[in-house]
Structure formats: C-alpha cells, structure tokens
Amino acid sequence: MQALVRKLESQLAALPVAVALRLPGGELVGAANAAVRVLFSDWSGLATLAAGQIGRIAEDYVERRLQIEGRMRDVMAAAAGLLPGSPVASDTSWWTQVLRRTRSLASHTPERDAQQVRFHYDVSDAFYALWLDPRRVYSCAYFAEDTMTLAAAQEAKLDLICRKLMLQPGDRFLDIGAGWGGLLLWAAEHYGVTATGITLSRNQHGHVQRLIEDEGLQGRVQVRLQDYRDLDESEPFDKIASVGMFEHVGQANMPAYFRKVHALLKPGGLVMNHGITAGGTEPGELGAGMGEFISKYIFPGGELLHVSHVLRETAAAGLEMVDTENLRPHYARTLWAWSDALEARLDEARAALAATHGEQDAETVLRAYRLYLSGCAMCFEQGWIALHQILSTHTGARSAYPFRRQYMYR
C-alpha cells in the first residue's frame, strides 16, 4: 500500500493544480490547502486513481464512495493530468468493430431510442432551466464575438444555422430533434418558414406546444412526439436541420438515417447536420472509463463517429456536402458556461431534482451532471471530441447553394 501511496504522490506533484488526498485512515497526502481534495472511504479507489481510470473515479463520486471538493475547472485540470495517455478510441480490430456494430443495432430500436432519449431529456425541465439560456438551447453556441453572453451566443448559433440553410419565407422547414423549440421558433419568427419539429422527449414536446400557443404560431409551427423513422416522405421539405441528433442514431443506423433525410428533402434542398463527432477515426467510446460513465449516467445509447465516417454516410445516401465547419472551441466555452451556471445554483438544482426524483436520487443525478458538464468541456478543450456543422444538398436537382461562404456570415 505504501508503494501505491508513493506512486500517487509522484503523480500529484506533476499535476497543473494542487491536489490532496485523504486516505481511508484519515492520513492526508498533499497540501492541506490544495485546490482539489479527494476523500476516500476505502482503499480500492486509490488504485483506480493511480491507474488513471477517471470514469470509474467519477462513478465512485456519484455513488458516494468518495468525495471530491474544489472548483470543477480545477477538478478537470487534475483529471486530464492523471490520464495515462489519450483516451481517444484506438482499438481497430475487426472483432471489436463487429461487437460494437451488434450492440449498436440492439441499442437503437424505436422503443429503446425513446427510452434513452427520455432518460436524459426528461430529467427535469426546472433543472435544465437553471443552467441553460432562456430559450433552453441545449447544443453548442456560436460566440461570434468574444464578449457575447451565452444567451447571445445561442441566438447567434440559431441565426447561423438559418443563414447557412438559406431559409426563406414560405419554406417548409423540418427540425429533427427539436429540443425545447429554440431553432423551430427562431426560424418561424425571423425567417417566415412553416416549421415542423419532432422529438421523443415528452417534456420537450409539452414545452414547445405551450410556446407555440403562447406566441400565436399555431398556423405555422407544429411539434410532434415522433421518431424520425416514422416521418411521412410523400411531402418532402425545402430545408431540414438536425441539431444534436445524430449522436443518438447509432453507428449501425447511420446509413438508414441519412437515406431517410434524403427522402425527406426536396431535390436541391439543403440539410444541416450539427452534431458531436469523435476524435478517433474508428468507432468507439472514450477510454479511461469516461465513455462508460456517460453511457450509464447521462446518454445511454449515445455513439460518436468521426466526421469522416459521417461524411461517408452522407455521400452514400445521395447528399452532397457543400460546407463543413468545426465549432469545437465554441462547445468547450458553451459547456463551461453551463457548468459555471449549475455550480452557482447547486441548492436550487438539488431542490428541482428532488421534486421529481426524491432526495437520494436527486443527489445522484446532480453529481453526475456536475461531472458531465465540466468533463465534456475538458474533452472539447483537449480535442478528444469535436462539434461539426455539416451542410449538404440533395443531389437530385440544382441547389440554391451559391458555393461561396460570404452569405453565411453577413
């Protein structure tokens, strides 16, 4: 055990922030005034920490087997320093890929997808409202100016998507995975489109319906509780957006997903896929236990693919990519804004979750989200994951896309 403690002391000395450990017997390793303190209740956690299994340490925190004290920004700086190497997936064996594809098929039936989406997005509207912007836009913001607030950056992102899609009054616009309605209503109010949104979240569906009624948009905006696979292809749309959606589709279903998008889009129409992509070129989750943590506590069934994989499936479905932009630094900043907002209102967040989950489960959810938001911010900063906006056109007719980018940024 002393050898393990000495190894940890050496690791802690190399970290960018001061970290102290309180051992199960009460002994303190590291400075008493360290920025981050980890309090262990049993010895097994020490070996996990020494091995750099950050995801398992996070699980131990969520399950109250240890305590973590300190700012989330400092905690994540320490976590990145403790990793033994890059956590980006590197197992390219054919058998591993076969297993992943098999699991992907089983995880993404319509029934499983509905359950998995509701597990995350129906946690509590009151909880999400505490740390999202007023429009509850739950995706990467676009900080067009360095001084922008999160709310302004989210509106800038909504407008950037609308401009990239060249939305015009009278366009029939589809939002696949409409969330709490931010893009759907922005497109209708600012660009005069007739908008349809779909979601599998009951909470989001009810919220967007109320917004439509409150703003008198019943004639031009509708939201449906519907799976993308069930959308009617007989009346294709002029423009389509899918924001934060294809992460939930699964590797095995990607070809069918893009074929469906192609069938829903008019020849010459434009589609924007805005989603998280993997840092590694082969399918797989982040290592060091981080992928498992996200799957267990946050996004069951979530699968990230490298942008090259997404582009290949896009092209195979008959969609021509005309513009791709990586907003990775913007998502790191967005996630830190969410994390800071949650950290500032922990007591309110705990109360909001207790109203729907009970006090015990509320604490579990809150701990998981504290680590999820700050941990994802770290992952985007490190380049282990990215965020791509992929604009494509239906190749069945001449597109209105001008093949110049100036129009997007006017």
pLDDT of amino acid 42: 85
Q: Are residues 37 and 109 in the same domain?
A: no
Other CB atoms closer than 10 Å to residue 219's CB: what's the count?
A: 9
- The per-residue pLDDT for range 266-279, each reduced to its tens digit, is 999 999 999 999 88
Q: What is the DSSP string of 18-87?
A: -EEEE-TTS-EES-TT-SEEEEESSTHHHHHHHTT-HHHHHHHHHTTSEEEES-HHHHHHHHHHH-SS--
Q: Are residues 26 and 122 in the same domain?
A: no
- The per-residue pLDDT for range 151-200, each reduced to its tens digit, is 999 999 999 999 999 999 999 999 999 999 999 999 999 999 999 999 99
The set of catalytic residues is: 376
Q: Are residues 52 and 105 in the same domain?
A: no
* Residue (of 380, 178, 373, 198) closest to 276 by Cα position: 380
| Threshold 0.85, pTM exceeds | yes
Q: What is the dihedral of CA 148, 149, 154, 160, to 10 degrees?
A: -10
Q: Are residues 178 and 318 in the same domain?
A: yes
Separation in Å, CA 59 to CA 17, 115, 128, 387 = 22, 22, 22, 26
Residue 321: give its domain's CATH number. Answer: 3.40.50.150
Residue 96, pLDDT above cutoff 60: no
Which residue, of 39, 54, 82, is where some domain finishes?
Answer: 82
Q: Are residues 65 and 190 in the same domain?
A: no
CA dist 65 and 174 (Å) reads 46
Q: Is residue 246 within 8 Å of residue 254, measured between CB atoms?
A: yes
Residue 224, pLDDT above cutoff 90: yes
Q: How many domains does the chain have?
A: 2
Q: Are residues 291 and 378 in the same domain?
A: yes
- E-only strand ranges, 47-192: 66-69, 172-176
Other CB atoms closer than 10 Å to residue 329's CB: what's the count?
A: 15
On whether residue 93 sits in a domain, the answer given is no
Angle of helix 254-264 relative to helix 307-316, nearest 10 degrees? 50
- The per-residue pLDDT for range 357-388, each reduced to its tens digit, is 998 899 999 999 999 999 999 999 999 999 99
Q: Are residues 60 and 134 in the same domain?
A: no
On whether residue 295 sits in a domain, the answer given is yes
- The per-residue pLDDT for range 285-335, each reduced to its tens digit, is 676 678 888 888 988 878 889 999 999 999 999 999 999 999 999 999 999
pLDDT of amino acid 95: 45
Residue 241, pLDDT above cutoff 70: yes
Which residue, of 20, 53, 82, is where some domain finishes?
Answer: 82
Residue 68: give its domain's CATH number. Answer: 3.30.1050.10
Q: Are residues 106 and 61 in the same domain?
A: no
On whether residue 88 sits in a domain, the answer given is no
Q: In what order do the strands lie in the sheet with 28-29?
A: 28-29, 19-22, 36-40, 66-69
pLDDT of amino acid 288: 64
On whether residue 172 sits in a domain, the answer given is yes
Q: What's the sign of the alpha-carbon dihedral 140, 146, 152, 156?
A: negative
On whether residue 91 sits in a domain, the answer given is no
> Mean pLDDT score of the chain, rounded to an integer?
90
CA dist 3 and 321 (Å) reads 55
On whether residue 186 sits in a domain, the answer given is yes
Residue 6, pLDDT above cutoff 60: yes
Q: Are residues 109 and 35 in the same domain?
A: no
pLDDT band at 252 (very low <50, low <70, confident <90, very high): confident
On whether residue 96 sits in a domain, the answer given is no
On whether residue 179 sits in a domain, the answer given is yes
**What is the residue range of 335's domain?**
101-409
Q: For the chain, what percent of residues have pLDDT higher than 90? A: 66
Which residue, of 55, 82, 109, is where some domain finishes?
Answer: 82
CA dist 381 and 329 (Å) reads 7
pLDDT of amino acid 99: 54
CA dist 284 and 291 (Å) reads 9
Q: Are residues 78 and 112 in the same domain?
A: no
